[in-house]
């Protein structure tokens, strides 16, 4: 992707498409958008043409110093977490948009049961493609499936049995 695909607008668009695609739930996605917008618009003199090159910790420290003191510590921790997650996922997507797969985060609940924050499947994930995204270079080839059947046919003098067997195979396997 070109540099213009790494700007703040592309990051927000990526998060919105992540919500629509079900990669992240709506509440988490909206929290990520709010954290990104709140932090990046509160700190002056940041080059937002390529958000993947930002010093995340440095920017967050500047945000806390300039504007973050108004928020309680738990809110700041949440914003930092959502800010980091948004930029990390976007960087992963940017590196290979065609094969992008959202990360999975497993955590323990207060009841001791395991919770999965983002569901990860083994099924292929449809890539999220931004404005002028990278297109796959290889074309898909048709798949050929060969099935070999081994049958033990009964010994009989009656040829109708064989005719019925092969007619049934033809009907159910070839048609």
Three-state SS for 84-115 is HHHHHHHHHHHHCHHHCCCCCCEEECCCCCEE
pLDDT tens per residue, range 110-130 = 555 544 444 444 444 455 555
pLDDT tens per residue, range 75-91 = 888 989 999 999 889 98
Bigger pLDDT: 90 or 140? 90
pLDDT at 130: 54
DSSP label at 116?
E
Give the pair of three-digit tokens for residue 83.
């800010």
pLDDT at 82: 92
pLDDT at 175: 59
Largest CA distance in the chain: 96
Q: Is the pLDDT of residue 150 over 90?
A: no
Q: Is the pTM of this model over 0.75?
A: no
| Nearest partner of 11 among 57, 63, 59, 49, judged by Cα | 49
Confidence of residue 138 (pLDDT cuts 50, 70, 90): low
pLDDT tens per residue, range 22-74 = 888 899 999 999 999 888 888 888 888 888 888 888 888 888 888 767 788 88
CA distance 19 to 15: 6
Distances (CA, A) of 133 to 6, 14, 127, 136, 140: 11, 12, 10, 10, 19
pLDDT at 33: 92
The answer to whether the CB of 130 falls within 8 A of the CB of 143 is no
Rg of the Cα trace of the chain? 27
């Amino acid at each position: 992707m070109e540099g213009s695909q790494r700007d703040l607008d592309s990051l927000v668009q990526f998060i919105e498409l992540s919500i629509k695609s079900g990669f992240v739930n709506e509440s988490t996605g909206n929290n990520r958008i709010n954290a990104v917008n709140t932090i990046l618009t509160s700190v002056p003199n940041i080059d937002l043409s390529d958000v993947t090159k930002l010093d995340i910790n440095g920017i967050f420290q500047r945000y806390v110093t300039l504007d973050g003191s108004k928020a309680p510590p738990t809110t700041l921790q949440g914003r930092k977490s959502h800010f980091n997650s948004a930029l990390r996922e976007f960087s992963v997507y940017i590196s290979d948009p065609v094969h992008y797969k959202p990360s999975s985060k497993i955590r323990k609940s207060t009841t001791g049961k395991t919770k999965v924050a983002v569901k990860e499947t083994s099924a292929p994930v449809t890539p999220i493609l931004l404005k002028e995204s990278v297109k796959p270079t290889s074309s898909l080839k048709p798949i050929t499936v060969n099935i070999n059947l081994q049958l033990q046919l009964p010994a009989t003098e009656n040829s109708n049995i064989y005719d019925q067997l092969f007619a049934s195979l033809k009907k159910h396997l070839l048609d």
